[in-house]
Chain A
Amino acid sequence: MKGPDTRDAPASQNFPALLLHHAANQGDRTAIREKDLGIWQSWTWEQVADEVRALACGLAAQGFRRGMNLAIIGDNRPRLYWSFAAAQCLGGVPVPMYQDAVAQEMLYVLDNAEIQYAVVEDQEQVDKLLELLPKYPNLKHIFYDDPRGLRHYTQPQLMPYDRLRELGVEYNRDHPGFFDGAVGTVQPDDVCVMLYTSGTTSKPKGVCLTHAALIAAARGDVAFDGFGPSDEILSYLPMAWVGDHLFSYAQALVAGFTVNCPESSETAMNDLREIGPTYYFAPPRIFENLLTTVMIRMEDASRIKRGLFHYFMAIARRCGAELMDGKPVPLSDRMLYRLGDLLIYAPLRNSLGMSRLRVAYTGGAAIGPDLYRFYRSIGINLKQLYGQTETAAYVCKQPNGEAKLDTVGKPMPGVEVRITGKGEIWVKTPSMLKEYYKRSDASAESISPDGYFMTGDAGFFDKDGHLKIIDRANDVGKLANGALFAPQFIENKLKFYSYVKEAVCFGDRREMVCAFINIDLQAVGNWAEKRNLAYSGYLDLTRRTEVYELILACIEQVNADLARESELASSQVRRFLILHKELDADDDELTRTRKVRRGFVAEKYAPLIDALFSGKTGCHIATEVKFEDGRRGTIEADIKIQDVMASEPGREAA
């Protein structure tokens, strides 16, 4: 059903106003859904506006005032999204936090943001906050949504969401003009959300974004991709991440489309199939997991099905992406593609939950060429984008028909991108951060005098005007012989193989490049089972000679690739080892958005690095690990180190 055209919701300069606009103009359309107790429960825009009013009044009744920060912690839930709006209505700032953060990490943010009020999802989050109370007694109010397990809790700070809502309804009745008055005082320049960066190299910083900034970004995105009220998205990525806030909150309020919250993270892929979103974002690793699952199941299918699959996938590889881009394709291939669509591609899209997808985006990390081509060739319009928390994830996007593999697209309208002499990418845009919270030093460090944000990424524009990212500027180094060493570039190539889950390369100011490898349990486990290799778990798998040979083959291929470019020929990987445990955010080795903390990892595994570069064939290591409940343990292992043959540096590829 096509609703009223709200694409140019006029004069709505802040999010509460946008919400009220939709409640008035398309009050009957579904604004948000949540799968609960097995069925999709939905709320219309009018209902959402009422809920936000009740919640805002409830918070006001409890003493929440303009300028205060509201912590929001949990999975994607309607009530938590409404908390963002409620805080904004009162002129406060919502501060979402990662739901899988351990208590220690949360302490930093609570303290830094001076949180007195928090809206959380369930007992798990309540427990973590209560644990921190002795160290941070300033937390006065904890409102929780799911009461399971909390019946016997007597702490005075706790209050169920339902009670808060009741108080809000009463307050609204007793102060009829209050809510509208409060919304009326919200300015476009007010900070509308504070998102903490994950901090690969240092403590997290609170990025303050204004209503105007996020609305500008959302408006730009909505115009670029033509989003409208009939679009549907699945909201399953952490609310503390700028991407989810942009898609599920900002864009949803600008375009008026429907947000769907899955039942739980385990059911997210299943819920994706049930909803059939029209617009989808996922980091490359999710697209990869989906593909791996499909391929694994395909290997178990009957011979005929496998045969059909491989035959038609070859056709898709040949011309699928070109067809989608509107490029010329011979008639015979066109007919075969049509047939393939009927037999293979459409059912495949259906089982991935992508039948109704108009556009899909990925970003945040590099995506493998095979993976990218796979999705595009079966008719999924997968494109890349680029941005960071400080720029509201709004810098570059690939236009339709220009979805090149190794670029992140062209600068969006209103965005200026400059490449400095050193090759660093600087960005100026109305969607920029206002400042880092209470960190004028960091603000001065990262924002140039003429208003450009220094992204810290190294990149360049190609001949079509697309931006290409090389690596983090600080990580780009030089080998001992002066050759360029861009670790992420090599690591991405390694990670394109489904067997490699994570890779960390070392080589700055060294004679050669060496690598840590994390194997992917699902892919390698499956590979082992197909060869009747019994294994008793992750650690066992990492020790096997056969697995080392498997990874060796992948690395040799990457080396052959690197050898083709003269500047990269010397950064071929010469030695590697397979880590005995996966790098984990709980152990501070990765950020909450799964980026490797290079410095920390280098320190923690220093003995292994020494062994790699001193020619040893093995090394014993004992690593400390942190369990999810905060307890610590140690894992010890003898790790084998393997040499790799380098390929001969060849002529530059055409």
Chain B
Amino acid sequence: MADAIKAGGVLLAVENIALAFGGVRALSDVTFEVREGEIRAIIGPNGAGKSSMLNVINGVYHPQQGTVRFRGEIRRSMDPHFAASHGIARTFQNIALFKGMSVLDNIMTGRNLKMHAGLLEQAFYIGRNRREELAHRAKVEEIIDFLQIEHIRKTPVGRLPYGLQKRVELARALAAEPALLLLDEPMAGMNVEEKQDMCRFILDVNDEFSTTIVLIEHDMGVVMDICDRIVVLDYGRKIGDGTPDEIRSNKGVIDAYLGLSH
């Protein structure tokens, strides 16, 4: 049950974004904003440009036109390093974890940008690193506790079932303590139980840490249930923007999903 629109300032605004790969127009004139503390979904049929949109927000792709404004600061082209160190974290559709490392270590890598000790200090566990390591470990353990993955903390990620790997992905993104969390199809490939768990965790993250969340999702049930507002893309254009109820009754959106050209 989506809550009423949360009152919060605009955290992220994308304006007139146009992205093309050669002749392919991935995004055309897309404008929307994300308010602080809300859960925003980007939906649309396959090939609509959703992942591209996420990649633009986080700086992996640079749009030919348009701007991304994060926390009031305009960036003509965001870059991933800036995004990550200023509070934007993301997960990937195909899991991008280090398969040979344990769950604990993978989540620790999410703390990377917060580690200030030098190479030598880290190698020999001296000085700043000693103090930092404990603090980082404590934070990582809190996340492990939060996502209920204590029983697999030492297991190499490659050995885990898909649903748990996705949870570890989420944990790693949370380790960066982001203000804005970008989730690319977090429920893909999950069964009903796993989806319910993941929904619960996403809602908890939003509630307990006040993290703003933007997610791409295909499962309409999930989207309608947990999201505050939705952006609908089709062929790179925005064709809908509003609350779940508004989107549900939007004729343009329905047509797009049914494949009717318009």
Binding site for B on A (CB under 8 A): 37-39, 148-149, 151, 263-264, 266-267, 270
When the two chains form their complex, are residues A37 and B142 in contact, meaning their CB atoms are under 8 A apart? yes
When the two chains form their complex, are residues A38 and B151 in contact, meaning their CB atoms are under 8 A apart? no
Q: Knowing A37-B142, A37-B145, A38-B141, say if A267 contacts B151 (CB, 8 Å).
A: yes
When the two chains form their complex, are residues B150 and A263 in contact, meaning their CB atoms are under 8 A apart? yes
When the two chains form their complex, are residues A264 and B150 in contact, meaning their CB atoms are under 8 A apart? yes
Q: Please report the C-alpha to C-alpha distance between residue A263 and residue B204 in the assembled complex, in whole angstroms.
A: 21
Q: Which residues of B contact A38 (CB under 8 A)?
A: 104, 137, 141, 144, 150, 153
Q: Which residues of A contact B73 (CB under 8 A)?
A: none
Binary CB contact string for chain B from 53 to 88 against chain A (1 if under 8 A, 0 otherwise): 000000000000000000000000000000000000
Q: Which residues of B contact A148 (CB under 8 A)?
A: 146, 208
Q: Please report the C-alpha to C-alpha distance between residue A511 and residue B146 in the assembled complex, in whole angstroms.
A: 57
Q: Which residues of B contact A149 (CB under 8 A)?
A: 204
B5 in contact (CB, < 8 A): no
Q: Knowing A264-B151, A267-B150, say if A37 contacts B141 (CB, 8 Å).
A: yes
B254 in contact (CB, < 8 A): no
Q: Please report the C-alpha to C-alpha distance between residue A463 and residue B32 in the assembled complex, in whole angstroms.
A: 86
Q: Please report the C-alpha to C-alpha distance between residue A148 and residue B207 in the assembled complex, in whole angstroms.
A: 11
Q: Which of B179-230 contact A (CB under 8 A)?
A: 204, 207-208
Q: Knowing A37-B145, A38-B141, say if A270 contacts B204 (CB, 8 Å).
A: no
List 26 A-B pairs, Cβ < 8 Å: A37-B138, A37-B141, A37-B142, A37-B144, A37-B145, A38-B104, A38-B137, A38-B141, A38-B144, A38-B150, A38-B153, A39-B141, A148-B146, A148-B208, A149-B204, A151-B207, A151-B208, A263-B150, A264-B148, A264-B150, A264-B151, A266-B150, A266-B151, A267-B150, A267-B151, A270-B151
A510 to chain B, nearest CB (A): 41
B-side interface size class: 10 to 19
* Chain B: CB-nearest residue to A265: B151
Q: Please report the C-alpha to C-alpha distance between residue A419 and residue B103 in the assembled complex, in whole angstroms.
A: 57
* Chain B: CB-nearest residue to A262: B150
Q: Which residues of B contact A37 (CB under 8 A)?
A: 138, 141-142, 144-145
Q: Which residues of A contact B104 (CB under 8 A)?
A: 38
Q: Please report the C-alpha to C-alpha distance between residue A149 and residue B148 in the assembled complex, in whole angstroms.
A: 13
* Chain B: CB-nearest residue to A39: B141
Q: Please report the C-alpha to C-alpha distance between residue A485 and residue B104 in the assembled complex, in whole angstroms.
A: 55
Q: Which residues of B contact A267 (CB under 8 A)?
A: 150-151
* Chain A: CB-nearest residue to B146: A148
Q: Which residues of A contact B150 (CB under 8 A)?
A: 38, 263-264, 266-267
B19 to chain A, nearest CB (A): 40
Top-8 shortest CB links A-B: A37-B141, A266-B151, A38-B141, A267-B151, A263-B150, A267-B150, A264-B150, A37-B145
Q: Which residues of A contact B144 (CB under 8 A)?
A: 37-38
B217 to chain A, nearest CB (A): 24
A357 to chain B, nearest CB (A): 23
Q: With a 10 A CB-CB cut-off, give which of A38, A39, A151, A267 has the most chain B CB atoms.
A: A38
A306 to chain B, nearest CB (A): 22
Q: Which residues of A contact B137 (CB under 8 A)?
A: 38
B111 to chain A, nearest CB (A): 15
* Chain B: CB-nearest residue to A268: B151
B230 to chain A, nearest CB (A): 25
Binary CB contact string for chain B from 137 to 167 against chain A (1 if under 8 A, 0 otherwise): 1100110111010110100000000000000
A537 to chain B, nearest CB (A): 11
* Chain A: CB-nearest residue to B204: A149
Q: Which residues of B contact A270 (CB under 8 A)?
A: 151
B1 to chain A, nearest CB (A): 15
